[in-house]
Amino acid sequence: MKIYKHLFFDLDHTLWDFETNSKNALLQIYTEEKLQTAGVPNFENFYNRYKSINDRYWARYHNHAVSKEQVRVGRFADALKEFNVTDLSIAHRMADRYVELSPKMTALFPLAIETLQYLQKKYALHLITNGFAEVQWIKLEHSGLKPFFEHIIISEEVGTQKPDPKIFELAMQRAKTTAVECLMIGDNMNTDIAGARAAGIDQVFFNPHKKPTREKSTYTIHQLEELMRLL
């Protein structure tokens, strides 16, 4: 194995348990908005529709096909329409509440903190994340993750996003390092793994659900604690 000096982590779905935190926030909003009496009788059905629609919006956002505001509100408006709820004021309230509530949720993947504590003694740790800046900073503050990272690069702040090699190059410039000394850890085979590879950086594919993929990465793990054995 190469001798690495700098580790770059993804945030959502890698350290911060996006699915758990998002679902908990949405359940609270569903209850607050009394959606069960407004035409959305089942939370699980709403959540599954929302999740699928949200994924499509984010894919379009990454391709510069929709704006931040269209993602923020549109995903709720479209999910509500699936249940014939067309009152846009509800979608706007849900969008505002979600951005307020979800980033304050604190669920992390198992042993995330312990793994970072171990790695911090041996490597310089940094973060590269796509997403809305104000939301990502709140996540980092409330989850206790922020102190582990020397440099935090958020796509919205730097004007480019993974998988564009430019964001990885910018991260290396800030860390005053080169690709041969770096390793990227992330859950997304496109944005994290292919993006890092295009920048000449080795990669660790975090695949907790063991989803099959034909793409290759330098290393693959299924639990974060495996990093303590790998590194």
How many whole angstroms separate alpha carbon 136 and alpha carbon 198? 25
Domain boundaries, the chain: 6-17+108-230, 18-104
Assess whether pLDDT exceeds 90 at residue 116: yes
pLDDT at 63: 87
Which residues, other chains included, contact 222 with Cβ-Cβ below 8 Å and sequence gap of 6+? Answer: 206, 207, 208, 210
Closest to 70 in 3D by CA, of 81, 60, 55, 80: 60
Which residues, other chains included, contact 214 with Cβ-Cβ below 8 Å and sequence gap of 6+? Answer: none
Q: Is the full-model pTM beyond 0.85? A: yes
Which residues, other chains included, contact 7 with Cβ-Cβ below 8 Å and sequence gap of 6+? Answer: 119, 123, 124, 125, 126, 182, 183, 184, 185, 231
CATH number of 6-17+108-230: 3.10.450.50, 3.90.550.10, 1.10.357.10, 3.40.50.1000?
3.40.50.1000
Q: How many percent of the chain have pLDDT more than 90?
A: 94
Assess whether pLDDT exceeds 90 at residue 2: no
Strands 6-9 and 124-129: parallel
Considering the chain, what is the average pLDDT of its residues? 96
Strand spans (E) along 34-162:
124-129, 151-154
CA distances 48 to 7, 90, 109, 153, 228, Å, are 34, 18, 21, 31, 35
pLDDT tens-place string over residues 134-182: 999 999 999 999 999 999 999 999 999 999 999 999 999 999 999 999 9
CATH superfamily of 18-104: Putative phosphatase; domain 2 (1.10.150.240)
φ and ψ at 9, to 5 degrees?
-105, 145
